[in-house]
Amino acid sequence: MSADEGASWAAASAPTAAEVIARQPALNPGELPIHDLMLHGWIALFGSSLVAMRAMSAAFGVVSILLVYLVSCELFAPGSERESALTSDDVRIIAGLAALVFAVNLVTIKYSREARMYPLMLAAVLAQVAMFLRALRVGGLANYAALLVLTAIAIASNFAALLVPASEGLWLLNVVARARWRPDNAKARRGWAIAIALAAAGLILVPRLFSSLRAASAGSVGGWRRPPALYAPFALFNKATGSFAFPILAALAIWGAVRGWRRGAHDAVGFALLWMWAPPVVMVAASYTIAPVFVERYALSCFVPFFIFVALGIFELPGDLVRIGALALAVAFSAGHIVSYDRKPHDAQYREAIAAASSALKPGEVMTVVPAYAIEVVRYYLPADQLDRAVRYGASASAPAVLILGRQNLAPDAARSYRKEYPEVVARLRGVTVLRR
């Protein structure tokens, strides 16, 4: 279990739904308790083992594959652009290719393996984008209402999802401006109706949004997050898809964007480019003006338009053999990135560290852990009758005898200071060290 998963478990394992809601703000700031309540129900059905809790995230990951297909169909829907030469069959093929490329990429798979809110956020955002595109294309009160609800769910699942409706707002400005702001233009009317739905969803969550921003700012003081480089939006796609797969995927995506534009799918290409680039650029700007917030998982949905461009690029290649070859390369290198990633451990051995710390304790002594929020992982692995042997760092009047020191999310010089306070090494494990006074 990771320290972040420990926070999700601690909230979701509360005895009642009301207690889940009460615990959530302190344990998981930056969201409403939608994920924790769902995980609470999931635990009631399937238990609180890591496999069981992560299975819910895996289920949302599978649903997201289907939603990528739906988003792609809505993006290139025949009739959405009169000049587009894509037929219904063409759109279905492109959508299927996009879903396949999405399904075999590590960036989406690895978050579907964690008992966290990000797979829920991704699924909610994809459903929201599909409804946004449909409402813009055909209108309808039911579509506007569904868009409002899905927008609220997406933002509530994690406030980082606000970046997508914000990008959609920019696109609506473009749509309405091209219609010369005329109320008699059908697309302009649909644009205004969608803007009202997005604004209404945002207003519902404004109080919690501001409290989340304050919590995020306070959390950045610890120093473990640094402002990103200005080229971070470009590096984001390289790092997430793999150094070997990225050149192939990038070449196909560029070809797909160019060919899609030449075909006349200007709106589809323009919206996908905005969705792909606006959130990471905004995160860079916010990192320098507010607090460091450039985190890969906050921009998960931005990979979807990238994969759609890859699919379009494969479709636009000449001849079936060339297309099959390009698809095989994209899938093979993406799968290779997964295999390479899985060959190296990426977790911290908290379970083994807790066992070593318990063995090192003398009667009456207690242990603690850094980072402090990892205390929930300690409580997860300790027997129920021994929970009093672990205290949150800095919360005990007397200094704990044993410290479990995680190596992630520490300020550069923090480890050195902890080792001075706890000079005796009890155990060195992957990602964590057990120290004693």
Please compute the mean of the pLDDT values over residues 68-93 and round it to a whole number. Answer: 83
398, 404, 407, 408: CA torsion to nearest 10: -80
Taking the C-alpha atoms of residue 298 and residue 423, their distance in angstroms, rounded to an integer, is 38
pLDDT at 413: 77
Give the whole-number percent of the chain exceeding pLDDT 70.
93
342 phi and psi angles, rounded to 5 deg: -75, -15
Residues contacting 89, CB < 8 A, separation 6+? none
Please give the distance of CA 399 from its chain centroid, rounded to a whole number. Answer: 37
User: How would residue 222 be classed by pLDDT, with cut points 50, 70 and 90?
Assistant: very low
Q: CA 73 to CA 176: how far, in whole Å?
A: 23
Q: Name the burial class of residue 192, with classes exposed (0-12), middle (13-18) and buried (19+) by CB atoms within 10 angstroms of its CB.
A: middle
- Ranking 122-126, 194-198, 284-288 by mean pLDDT, the lowest is 284-288
C-alpha span between 150 and 201 (Å, rounded): 9
pLDDT above 60 (res 9): yes
Round to whole Å and give the CA distance between 255 and 250: 8
- Inform me whether the pLDDT recorded for 221 exceeds 50: no
> How large a percentage of the chain has pLDDT more than 90?
73
**Confidence grade of residue 187 (pLDDT, cut at 50, 70, 90):** confident
The span from the CA of 87 to the CA of 362, in Å, is 73
Task: pLDDT band for 415, please (50, 70, 90 cuts).
Answer: confident
Among 25-34, 91-100, 215-224, 304-313, which stretch is predicted with the lowest mean pLDDT? 215-224
**pLDDT band at residue 185, thresholds of 50, 70 and 90?**
confident
Mean pLDDT (the chain, rounded):
90
- The pLDDT of residue 213: 54
How far apart are the C-alpha atoms of 22 and 102, rounded to whole Å?
36
The terminus-to-terminus CA distance of the chain in angstroms comes to 26
pLDDT tens, position by position, 152-183:
999 999 988 999 999 999 999 999 998 877 77
| pLDDT above 50 (res 267) | yes
Secondary structure of residue 436 in the 3-state scheme = strand
> Quick one: pLDDT at residue 87?
87
Distance CA 389, CA 368 (A): 9
Instruction: Note whether 165 and 155 are within 8 A (CB).
Output: yes
Identify the residue whose tokens are 């890969």: 296
pLDDT one-digit tens code per residue, 352-398:
999 999 999 999 899 999 988 899 999 999 998 999 899 998 866 67
- Per-residue pLDDT of 246-262, as tens digits, reads 999 999 999 999 999 99
- Tell me the pLDDT tens digit for each residue of 290-325: 888 888 999 999 999 999 999 999 999 999 999 999
pLDDT tops 80 at residue 210: no
- CA-wise closest residue to 102 among 59, 68, 71, 79: 68
Mean pLDDT to the nearest integer, 398-417: 83
Q: Which residue in 25, 60, 26, 28 sits closest to 42, CA to CA?
A: 60
Which range is least confidently modeled, 79-83, 156-160, 195-199? 79-83
Confidence of residue 412 (pLDDT cuts 50, 70, 90): low
Alpha helices (runs of H) in 112-225, residue ranges in sequence order: 118-138, 141-157, 163-178, 186-204, 206-219
Q: Report the C-alpha gap between 379 and 10 in whole angstroms.
A: 9
* Cβ within 8 Å of residue 172, ≥6 positions away: 191, 194, 195, 198
